[in-house]
Amino acid sequence: MSRQILGRHGEDFAVKHLESHGWTIHERNWRCRHGEIDIIAIAPDAVTVVFIEVRTRSTVNAGHPLETIGPSKAARMRRTAGAWLSAQDDFIPRFRIDVIGIIWDALAPELTHLEGLE
């Protein structure tokens, strides 16, 4: 399976997981000059906008997908989220950046949701 197909499966799985837990998906694959946000969602509290990076791996041999978020990727995610916030007509009082890591197994994918990237 190609990396793009694996990534798409992971994002689709993450969206289904979030929706099943009361999240509302606002936008997918939003891009600007700073980068891309995989998922922009409204948390179940109906107030918090959450920018979500999805990392999918087919094996844990190279480490858990959450371990692939380094300082430069985190900074790029913050800049990209800031660009999205700046483009909105309304003030967004509550937001955060989350990361979802998925170990892909077509029969039973393993999903880990890290809330609030530091």
Q: How many CB atoms lie within 10 A of CB 60?
A: 11
pLDDT average, residue stretch 19-25:
97
What CATH number is associated with residue 25?
3.40.1350.10
* pLDDT above 90 (res 40): yes
Which range in 6-10, 48-52, 102-106 is most confidently predicted, on average pLDDT?
48-52
- Counting the structural domains of the chain, the total is 1
Q: Percent of the chain at pLDDT above 90?
A: 66
Q: Which helix (H) or strand (E) holds 5?
A: helix 3-20
Give dist(CA 91, CA 55) in Å, integer. 29
Q: For residue 60, what are the domain limits?
A: 3-114
* pLDDT above 70 (res 67): yes
The pLDDT-based confidence of 65 (bands split at 50, 70, 90) is confident
